[in-house]
Amino acid sequence: MIKITDGRAADWSEVVLRRDAEQHDVSATVRDIINNVKTRGDSAVLEYTERFDGVKLSDMRVSEAEIEAAKESVGAEFLDVLESAAANIRAFHKMQKREGFVIDDAPGIVLGQKITPLGCAGIYVPGGTAPYPSTVLMDAIPAKIAGVSRIIMTTPPGRDGKINDGILAAAGVSGIDEIYKIGGAQAIAALAYGTESIPRVDKIVGPGNIFVATAKKLVYGVVDIDMIAGPSDILIIADSSANPKFVAADMLGQSEHDKLSSSVLVTDSEVIANETAKEIGAQLENLPRKDIAAASIENNGQIILARDVRHAVEIANAIAPEHLEVCTDDPFELLPLIQNAGSIFLGHYTPEALGDYFAGPNHTLPTEGTSRFFSPLSVDDFIKKSSYISYSRDALDSVAQKVETFARREGLDAHANSITIRKSKN
């Protein structure tokens, strides 16, 4: 079922070329939705909610009573799990918080950088085949730590007009300010432009389907966005010390997300390669989401044989995975060699699911090779940096000629004159 490819040849690049999942171009449809919401506001959003989600809403906003009822519904045990996970996520992300700085070591000159949180952030939480309370925690908590004063969440309702209890409970634990029962491109448009009921935000974060991703692309520039998230992926580096049962379980854990998800094992052990392939087949039979996982493994799964673990790291860096597990005898030895990965999981007892739910680092990660240049969602995503400059008269006089020369070199005489006119003799 899963392909085993020999990547030990000198030229192994062909085996790691990233697959291009077939994507339909929905930009025209999404552009129409955005323009309609921009023009007609709430009425357009309600119409699309009825058309796409099959529910006619009289009020889009979730009430405090609904949130409290959801907390009660999920039960004390799951609420405790949410609180524990939230505590870990807060502890990790608090370490990311930065302060501004001031440089004032030259007479008459003060330079600095000021950190300001965004005023309003929008969080999109998908519906689809599975609810994701974890996404609520991962997206909202860094925004809170950054100091964002207003956090708006949108998520599509079920046909009963309600939001999943786990999602609402997570929103309550995270301290989200407002929640609206809308999804899809219409939700992104509402957050970007505002409606009579939904405030305009400064930034939109969170994953979604192709309509959501396309909408985020189209509103970028009107608002900021985190990233364009594609199908999720995992790559596992394993040596002979790895347990094939563990490796197979972790690959299947990723595959059950979506038929387009990608699970790759890179190993220098033919025994591990073959045993993992067998384990995938055996474990697959017992999965409730077997059909999704099987399609993912069949179309996007791969086992690649490497010359050694360092060669495996080279292959991993070329693929630039979202999640990278290092299941080797000494994973920390390889850590300095890893250049491209969204989140790294070190050791045989550190499955990717720990990062999805509980450990603390963010699980909103760059997908489809974009870890070459994107980073996980963080506190930095919810701040702005402004620089500031102050020169005294004497300090300006000391550099005036150099600035004038630079400005005239660029042919901008008015720029030069703004310096000249301030010289001491004037």
So which residues are the catalytic ones?
322-323
Query: Quick one: which H or E segment has residue 102?
Result: strand 101-106
Q: CA-to-CA distance for 288 and 305, rounded, in angstroms?
A: 30
Task: Give the CA dihedral 82, 365, 211, 256, nearest 10 degrees.
Answer: -70
Helices 42-53 and 27-40 cross at an angle (nearest 10°) of 140
Alpha carbons 8 and 10: distance in angstroms, whole number: 7
* Nearest of 236, 296, 299 to residue 269 by alpha carbon: 236
For tokens 């807060």, what's the residue? 90
Radius of gyration of the chain (CA): 25
Helix (H) or strand (E) holding 116: strand 109-117
Q: How far apart are the first and last CA of the chain?
A: 82
Give the pairing of strands 109-117 and 101-106.
antiparallel
Q: State how far the Cα of 393 lies from the Cα of 424, in Å rounded to an integer.
A: 7
CA–CA distance, 36 with 188 (Å, rounded to integer):
12
Q: Are 118 and 382 in contact (CB under 8 A)?
A: yes
